[in-house]
Amino acid sequence: MIIKEVLDESGKLYSKALAHVSVDCVLFGFKDNRLNALMLKLKGEENWMLPGGYVYKDESLDAAAERILFERSGADKIFLNVFSVFGNVNRSEEYFKDYPDDLWHKQRFVSVGYYALVDHTQVTPVLDVYSDVCEWVPVDKLPNTIMDHGEILKKALTALREQISYKPIGYNLLPETFTMPELQALYEAILGQKLNRGNFYRKIMRYNILIKQAESRKGGAHKAPNLYRFDEENYKKALKEFNW
Amino acid sequence: MIIKEVLDESGKLYSKALAHVSVDCVLFGFKDNRLNALMLKLKGEENWMLPGGYVYKDESLDAAAERILFERSGADKIFLNVFSVFGNVNRSEEYFKDYPDDLWHKQRFVSVGYYALVDHTQVTPVLDVYSDVCEWVPVDKLPNTIMDHGEILKKALTALREQISYKPIGYNLLPETFTMPELQALYEAILGQKLNRGNFYRKIMRYNILIKQAESRKGGAHKAPNLYRFDEENYKKALKEFNW
């Protein structure tokens, strides 16, 4: 059960915040060859939650999402995108059923889900006053979450998987030069499945976003693998184009 | 300016409806070889609007979207998907600036955008009590709209274009058998651009969703074009699969 001080502290927002609308953020990072999401634990709460919060009356929804993510996790200047909205009756009311009815948090909240894929080395998780854990959690085995945060995370993952089937991914997530198996490992971590090497190579080459380097990687007993880097201009073009 | 009776009538909802949350629906149909959206004009209002409305306190957001679309346009049993949310400050307040401050409609609304692509012949637009026009409007030339409804429509179109770059489209939108040029015309209407015939053929064949018919279409001076139909099972599989 969330401790009273946490609820009191966050409840103080109510005079500044819009009723019924909240935001939850899913921040994905590629770490140790696995897809991770940044998650918190509230003081007194055993289960994980996504960084989330309320929207100020004088603030746009997008600005609220960026502020909330920064305040709750330290992740700054992240461009977030809406992927879905969670609006079932009782999603927030039920979670707070053991608390008094006039608790700000206990009203019905329709929560807007935002997500982004980031370079995890650029994000240093920091604790806010409400939480005692904030860290990267692997998503291949979903952790126990509060409310419908597990469903929110799952749907964000689906959105990310859809995104990589029509847009390139990897820029800023991999070192400046990388091998084909490293790029494939990123795609496999996102898709949660092994990919055929030849098919992957053919499809990724069709984007025309990779430049093969003259030098291959040194060291190791095997034949040195080819190194690639992203062609920034073509990569940006591919982000904007539709694939027909 | 919207006439007072319309506002009074729809404002009666306020005791049943959740504050600050609204829904706008973009229903796309393929008609006369053009992409159309179902739109309304409020009584007394010159500009077009999307079918939209408020969420009842005891109703899920998804159920609200389906109800609103049905009540306002007659389009029934439509499976709608969230594509984005519109949450700028003043988007609703500004539009009602000449009205009294206690008007229900004048509060800040964060509006959830839902969209679907439907067979227009299955939808017979009907007028509700608030509107005097409800019809299919071609989207290749955006009509004048109220509030940010033009932006909402544009963003729905982008979502639809993204969708067809990783999912097949056409089932239920074309007659049971169709020619390759007819399928291509559907894609061109959605993308708003001409496509190369050879590229289109190759890409659509990769989905493995088309079955070439033994008989070709009769009549006409030219060589009869090949007819195709969708392979329902493979089509459904392709909807669920990711393209890697």
In tens, the pLDDT along A100-131 reads: 998 999 999 999 999 999 989 889 999 999 99
| pLDDT over threshold 80, residue B168 | yes
The average pLDDT across B111-129 equals 93
| pLDDT over threshold 80, residue B72 | yes
* A82, A191, A244 member nearest B200 (Cβ): A244
| pLDDT over threshold 70, residue A36 | yes
The predicted pLDDT at position B200 comes to: 93
Range list of H helices, A54-196:
61-73, 149-164, 180-191
Tokens for A19?
């009723």
| Residue B135 near residue B37, CB atoms below 8 Å | no
pTM of the entire structure? 0.92
Tell me whether residues A165 and B166 touch, CB distance under 8 A.
yes
Q: Is B164 strand, coil or helix?
A: helix
Length of chain A: 244
Same domain for B209 and B136: no
Tell me whether residues A110 and B112 touch, CB distance under 8 A.
yes
Task: Please indicate, yes or no, if residue A101 is contained in any of the structural domains.
Answer: yes
Same domain for A127 and A98: yes
The predicted pLDDT at position A242 comes to: 63
The predicted pLDDT at position A14 comes to: 86
Q: Which of A110, A151, A201 is the best substitution to test chain B (most B C-beta atoms within 10 A)? A: A110
CA-CA distance, A135 to A50, in Å (whole number)? Answer: 11
Same domain for A188 and A75: no
* B19, B89, B165 member nearest A60 (Cβ): B89
Q: Which of A16, A57, A82, A115 is the best substitution to test chain B (most B C-beta atoms within 10 A)? A: A82
Same domain for A188 and A160: no
Whose tokens are 């959690």? That residue is A137
Same domain for B39 and B143: yes
* A82, A108, A195 member nearest B18 (Cβ): A108
Task: Please indicate, yes or no, if residue B168 is contained in any of the structural domains.
Answer: no
Furthest-apart CA pair in chain A: how many Å? 68
* B21, B55, B166 member nearest A162 (Cβ): B166
The predicted pLDDT at position A50 comes to: 98
The average pLDDT across B155-167 equals 90
| pLDDT over threshold 90, residue A228 | yes
Same domain for B60 and B25: yes
Last residue of a domain, one of A164, A198, A223: A164
The average pLDDT across B129-155 equals 95
| pLDDT over threshold 90, residue B224 | no
The predicted pLDDT at position A219 comes to: 65
| pLDDT over threshold 90, residue A66 | yes
Q: What CATH number has the domain bearing residue B84?
A: 3.90.79.10
CA-CA distance, A140 to A200, in Å (whole number)? Answer: 21
Which residues of chain B have a Cβ shorter than 8 Å from any chain A Cβ? 18-21, 55, 57-62, 64, 82, 84-89, 108, 110, 112, 161-162, 164-166, 187, 191, 195, 199-200, 203, 242-244
ipTM of this predicted complex? 0.91
- Give B90's contacts in chain A (Cβ within 8 Å): none
Domain extent, residue A236, equals 180-240
The predicted pLDDT at position A229 comes to: 95
Backbone angles phi, psi at A219, to 5 degrees: 85, 165
- Cβ neighbours around A132 below 10 Å, total: 14
Higher pLDDT, B204 or A172: B204
| pLDDT over threshold 70, residue A220 | no
CA-CA distance, A224 to A179, in Å (whole number)? Answer: 10
Minimum distance, in Å, between the CA of residue B211 and any CA atom of chain A: 21
Minimum distance, in Å, between the CA of residue A29 and any CA atom of chain B: 20
| B142 — pLDDT class (breaks 50, 70, 90) | confident
Last residue of a domain, one of B99, B130, B163: B163
Same domain for A212 and A107: no
* A18, A64, A243 member nearest B108 (Cβ): A18
Same domain for A49 and A152: yes
The average pLDDT across A44-62 equals 96
Same domain for A201 and A82: no
* Beta strand B110-118 pairing with B17-31: parallel
Q: What CATH number has the domain bearing residue A209?
A: 1.10.10.10
